[in-house]
Amino acid sequence: MKFVDEFRDPKLGKQLLQGIARLAAEIDRPLKLMEVCGGHTHAIFRFGLEALMPDNVDLVHGPGCPVCVLPVGRVDDAVAIAEHPNVVFATYGDAMRVPGSKKSLLGAKAEGCDIRTVYSPVDALAIAQAEPDKEVVFFGLGFETTTPSTALTVKQAAALGVTNFSVFSNHITIVPTLKALLDSAGENIDGFVGPGHVSMVIGLQPYEFVTRDYRKPIVVSGFEPLDVLQAIHMVLTQIAAGEAKVENQYTRVVREGGNPMALQALLEVFELRSYFEWRGLGTINHSGLQLREPYAAFDAEKRFAVPQLSVADPKACQCGEVLKGALKPWECKVFGTACTPETPIGSCMVSSEGACAAYYNYGRLSVLKSKPEAKAATRPAPRPSDEQPEAAE
């Protein structure tokens, strides 16, 4: 497949790995690099990149999987909407198994709710047009990558005069999230592999604060193995040179200014909520999006009574620590035993982009656990920083 196969060339990959090994040896201290985006987490495990990293380079998996950060309370709200007698609840497949406090959407479907998996918000709109006596609610999920699609669909519904379509918006935005993460766990992280598909919409400028205020390198990356390896190489090159810059590895897709047309649609339809709850990360101000007043008729939260309760995560679940990069998935008590992709307890085990699901499906656990850094560097206890070079002679 064009633009895919070329970026999986094993020879070039080996060369990049040699370069990464040299840089890591030169820097000569434990390094933690966080990939923010769940798509990268998936790619890293699918292609086994984590096991190929030098011993002192630890890849930490961030909160960039919109399904994984969906709090229990919002799943309950979704179920409550889906339980309305005349509602067709349309959702991306990823969200079906996310556990609520009593049941997931899949559980609600089993009990008879009309819940349908769609590939695109326009598919949900098409259902609304085809079944005008039903109320169709689309489960709006995702970061800036996905939000413009929802926005354009809402605009289309408005233009077509469709009145039985609405969106339950759980769209979120990347910058406040990165900032919250840097404030709470920033000292643990040496650099970032930045989200490629969010950046194709928002561009590079929004990341300037990462380098300016926190002095961390960030390299926006594509999703093929060579992309991720090259981005890691670029982050290490910056660290070795003592630099902190925003760089773009994914130049074939990401433009410096992002996609103005997509941004315009997003801003026309959506505005920031004053606060939004995240699973494991708590409430982050101005991190969620809701429909603007002119589109209020398409806001499911205004159309249907939703409980809007904040519900604590299950006690056994440590998704929060995993999302902050403080814990490796396999260190969670229920990983792979009580919590599996078939019967997940935490949301990180649900989506294929979740760190736990990626480890569960692809993780070369025996290799990873044997890495010297793996155990030492990932204890949940707060640690001052990683600057102590271990075993320096």
Partner 1 sequence: MCLGVPGRIVEIADAEKKLGLVEIAGVRRLTNLACVAADADAVRASLGGWVLVHVGFAMSRIDEEEAQRTLGLLQEMGEVMELQEQLAAGDEARRGAGVAGGGLAAPPPMMGMPDGGE
Residues in touch with partner 1 (CB under 8 A): 1-4, 6-7, 9, 11-12, 15-16, 18-19, 22-23, 25-26, 37-39, 65-67, 92-95, 119-123, 141-143, 145-146, 148-149, 152, 196-197, 200-201, 204, 223, 226, 230, 233-234, 237, 240, 247-249, 251-256, 259, 261-262, 265, 351, 353
Q: Provide, rounded to whole angstroms, the least separation between the CB of residue 152 and partner 1.
A: 6
Q: Are 207 and 247 in contact (CB under 8 A)?
A: no
Angstrom distance (rounded) from CA 136 to CA 132: 9
8 versus 383: smaller Cβ distance to partner 1 = 8
255 versus 369: smaller Cβ distance to partner 1 = 255
Q: Helices 225-240 and 10-27: crossing angle, nearest 10°?
A: 20
Outline where 47-112 has alpha helix (H). 72-82, 105-110
Q: Provide, rounded to whole angstroms, the least separation between the CB of residue 28 and partner 1.
A: 11
147 versus 166: smaller Cβ distance to partner 1 = 147
- Residue from 26, 259, 74 nearest 172 by CA: 74
Residues in the chain: 393
Torsion of CA 246, 247, 249, 254, to 10 degrees: 70
32: amino acid identity, one letter: K
Q: Provide, rounded to whole angstroms, the least separation between the CB of residue 319 and partner 1.
A: 17
231 versus 339: smaller Cβ distance to partner 1 = 231
Angstrom distance (rounded) from CA 10 to CA 352: 24
83 versus 123: smaller Cβ distance to partner 1 = 123
Q: Provide, rounded to whole angstroms, the least separation between the CB of residue 26 and partner 1.
A: 6
294: amino acid identity, one letter: P
Q: What angle do CA 329, 334, 338 make, to 5 degrees?
A: 130
Q: Are 152 and 265 in contact (CB under 8 A)?
A: yes
2 versus 315: smaller Cβ distance to partner 1 = 2
244 versus 253: smaller Cβ distance to partner 1 = 253
The encoded tokens of residue 122 equal 């326009």
Q: Are 242 and 27 in contact (CB under 8 A)?
A: no
Collapse the DSSP code of 9 into the 3-class scheme (helix H, G, I; strand E, B; otherwise coil) and give the result. coil
Q: Provide, rounded to whole angstroms, the least separation between the CB of residue 333 and partner 1.
A: 27
- Long-range contacts at 378-383 (CB < 8 A, ≥ 24 apart): 378/58, 378/326, 378/327, 378/328, 378/331, 379/326, 380/318, 380/321, 380/326, 380/327, 380/331, 383/188
Q: Provide, rounded to whole angstroms, the least separation between the CB of residue 303 and partner 1.
A: 23
225 versus 368: smaller Cβ distance to partner 1 = 225
Q: Provide, rounded to whole angstroms, the least separation between the CB of residue 9 and partner 1.
A: 8
Q: Provide, rounded to whole angstroms, the least separation between the CB of residue 304 and partner 1.
A: 23
Angstrom distance (rounded) from CA 380 to CA 252: 38
15 versus 340: smaller Cβ distance to partner 1 = 15
129 versus 310: smaller Cβ distance to partner 1 = 129
Cβ burial of 323 (10 Å; 0-12, 13-18, 19+) is: buried
Q: Provide, rounded to whole angstroms, the least separation between the CB of residue 56 and partner 1.
A: 15
Q: Provide, rounded to whole angstroms, the least separation between the CB of residue 137 and partner 1.
A: 17
